[in-house]
């Protein structure tokens, strides 16, 4: 453990290179890559944040050290989730929200998730095509992530990456999910406020009362509101929200035309109002705790699955199990329980 | 550790044609890489900033406007400035309509390889995988 980093300022070697420090280090002291990145986060060097995200995403052995520090450094950025179906205008809305946030003098980090190919693992991350303004603004940082097989609308490490952004000290952290269908609701586990973006003409009142994405919004917005059906979409949403009479916070429904920046300032006001509501009612702590639980769950699940599969691959029990499955001698749930028992050395009675 | 190759496909300058950029983006995707597409009409400064924030291994610029000798060295210069390093850990590729006599100049100014029309996309993918700088 512990690779030595070369002291090119912010031109790091990649994970895995061993190089001798040469500059700015008269004692020839060994400086670890993760220490350099942690210092970079403290100094708000954008290249440090960018490399930290890469290391965390790739499951590098430096990630643990970086995250440990990042959790200590984390500030009080507002984490805003932005979700909705493909094509409703999430990215365009993010572009105008960045503008509105900067107009008020706040800094903003954006995490935008797009899907990975289930076949090749490759991805086209296209959010920058829409997020065009303020690319070189020093108080804006934009990072595209591929979902890498994770199905909840985010990527495997989004929770940790939000923490890195928070440690860097952004006032707002916008997290844009993949174009979500109905059940990609993971964003509610990580965001303090969730903005659900809709567009006119995408569904009737039966869609509106289904479970899932429409339940998780703290603020709703009907984008492309210059479309003639916009008022109807708002009415359907309002009717759906009206069925619940015991709101502590009744989610407002706003109209925006993101491509023209219309309604975006009002939208930001509502998001801020929601943050304020959370703070006033002691609910912010609850949401933050929820994000920790989400991060814990994700980590436990990920590490356990990786561990069991690696063990089972190594000792051949996976091959054996697959053979039995293909011969129809057993069924997947039984094999899973066997593998868990066998490799986690558990006496746990998971079938109860 | 599961390392993914990340590529920025960039369109510098006043050039509205991105069919080629999209084809190459798709080829990189099909080779298992994560491709960030910049969108049209980007300045060298913007592309360099994107390359740093996205922490890409490759910056592949598509340019059909004829302004390559002006814009591409500028992209390299901005990358060095953004990274604060003389030596780049990013592979810089160029593609599009670039006359053969300009290739030497571009290579002398920090572009690692130039691919013209008709290049097999698989060759570009292979070259990229073999020449990563980190």
Residue spans of chain B under pLDDT 70: 1-2
DSSP code for A10:
T
Measured between beta carbons, which residues in chain A are less than 8 angstroms from residue B87? Answer: 8, 11
Please report the pLDDT score of residue A10 as a whole number.
45
pLDDT grade for A302, boundaries at 50, 70 and 90? confident
User: What is the spatial order of strands in the sheet that A193-198 belongs to?
Assistant: A140-146, A108-114, A172-176, A78-84, A193-198, A219-222, A253-255
Contacts of A2 (CB under 8 A, 6+ apart): A30, A32
| Contact assignment for A132 to B39 by CB distance below 8 Å | yes
* Count of Cβ atoms closer than 10 Å to residue B24 Cβ: 25
pLDDT, position A152: 79
CB contact under 8 A, A47 and B87: no
Report pLDDT digits (tens) over A308-331. 999 999 999 899 989 999 999 999
Which pLDDT belongs to residue A301?
Answer: 86
In whole angstroms, what is the distance from residue A240 CA to residue A209 CA?
Answer: 6
In chain A, what are the domain boundaries? 1-72, 74-281, 289-344
A74-281 maps to CATH 3.40.50.300: yes
Token pair of A179 as six digits = 């174009």
Does the interface predicted TM-score (ipTM) exceed 0.90? yes
Which residues, 6 or more positions from B4, have their beta carbon under 8 angstroms from its beta carbon? A57, A58, A121, A146, A148, B32, B33, B34
Handedness of CA A198, A126, A186, A276 (dihedral sign): negative
Domain edges within chain B: 6-130
The yes-or-no verdict on residue A213 having pLDDT over 90 is no
Tell me which chain B residue has its CA closest to the CA of residue A134.
B46
The mean of the pLDDT values for chain A is 85
Reported confidence tier of residue A257, pLDDT bands at 50, 70, 90: very high
Assigned fold of B6-130 = Rossmann fold (3.40.50)
- Among A40-44, A268-272, A293-297, name the most confident range: A268-272
Candidates A91, A114, A115, A86; CA nearest to A180 is: A86
Give the single-character DSSP code of A136: T
Bridge partners, residue A111, by sequence: A143, A175
CA distance A195 to B8: 29
The helix (run of H) or strand (run of E) holding residue B34 is strand B34-37
Smallest CA–CA distance, residue A144 to chain B, in Å, is: 7
Place of tokens 């940790």: A160
Nearest by CB to residue B85, choosing from A11, A132, A143, is: A11
d(CA A117, CA A115): 7
């Amino acid at each position: 453990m512990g690779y030595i980093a070369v002291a090119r300022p912010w031109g790091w070697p990649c994970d895995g290179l061993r190089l001798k420090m040469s500059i700015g280090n008269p004692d020839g002291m060994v400086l670890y890559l993760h220490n350099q990145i942690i210092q970079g986060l403290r100094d708000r060097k954008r290249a440090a944040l960018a490399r930290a995200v890469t290391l965390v995403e790739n499951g590098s052995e430096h990630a643990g050290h970086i995250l440990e520090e990042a959790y200590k450094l984390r500030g009080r950025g507002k984490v805003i989730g932005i979700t909705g179906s493909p094509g409703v205008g999430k990215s365009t809305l993010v572009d105008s929200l960045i503008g509105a946030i900067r107009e008020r003098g706040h800094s903003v980090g954006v995490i935008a998730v797009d899907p990975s190919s289930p076949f090749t693992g490759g991805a086209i991350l296209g959010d920058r095509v829409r997020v065009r303004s303020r690319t070189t603004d020093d108080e804006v940082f934009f990072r595209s992530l591929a979902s890498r097989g994770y199905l909840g609308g985010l990527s495997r490490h989004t929770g940790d990456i939000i923490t890195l952004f928070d440690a860097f000290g952004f006032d707002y952290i916008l997290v844009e999910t993949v174009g979500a269908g109905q059940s990609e609701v993971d964003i509610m586990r990580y965001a303090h406020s969730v903005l659900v973006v809709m567009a006119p003409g995408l569904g009737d009142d039966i869609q509106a009362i289904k479970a899932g994405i429409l339940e998780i919004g703290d603020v709703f917005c009907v984008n492309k509101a210059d479309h003639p059906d916009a008022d109807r979409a708002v009415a359907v949403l309002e009717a759906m929200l009206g069925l619940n009479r015991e709101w502590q916070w009744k989610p407002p429904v706003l109209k925006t035309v993101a491509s023209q920046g219309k309604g975006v300032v009002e939208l930001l006001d509502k998001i801020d109002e929601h943050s304020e509501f959370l703070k006033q009612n002691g609910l912010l702590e609850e949401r933050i705790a929820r994000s920790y639980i989400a991060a814990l769950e994700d980590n436990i699940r990920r590490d356990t699955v990786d561990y069991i599969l690696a063990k089972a691959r190594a000792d051949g029990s996976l091959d054996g199990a697959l053979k039995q499955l293909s011969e129809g001698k057993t069924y997947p749930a039984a094999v899973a329980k066997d593998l868990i028992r066998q490799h986690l050395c558990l006496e746990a009675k998971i079938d109860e | 550790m599961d390392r993914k190759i990340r590529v920025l496909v960039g369109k510098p300058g006043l050039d509205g044609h991105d069919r080629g950029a999209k084809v190459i983006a798709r080829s990189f995707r099909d080779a298992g890489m994560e491709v960030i597409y910049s969108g049209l009409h980007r300045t060298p400064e913007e592309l360099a900033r994107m390359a740093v924030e996205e922490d890409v291994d490759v910056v592949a610029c598509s340019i059909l406007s004829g302004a390559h000798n002006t814009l591409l060295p500028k992209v390299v210069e901005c990358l060095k400035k953004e990274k604060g390093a003389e030596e780049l850990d990013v592979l810089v590729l160029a593609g599009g309509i670039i006359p053969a006599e300009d290739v030497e100049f571009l290579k002398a100014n920090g572009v690692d390889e130039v691919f013209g029309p008709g290049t097999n996309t698989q060759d570009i993918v292979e070259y990229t995988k073999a020449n990563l700088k980190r």
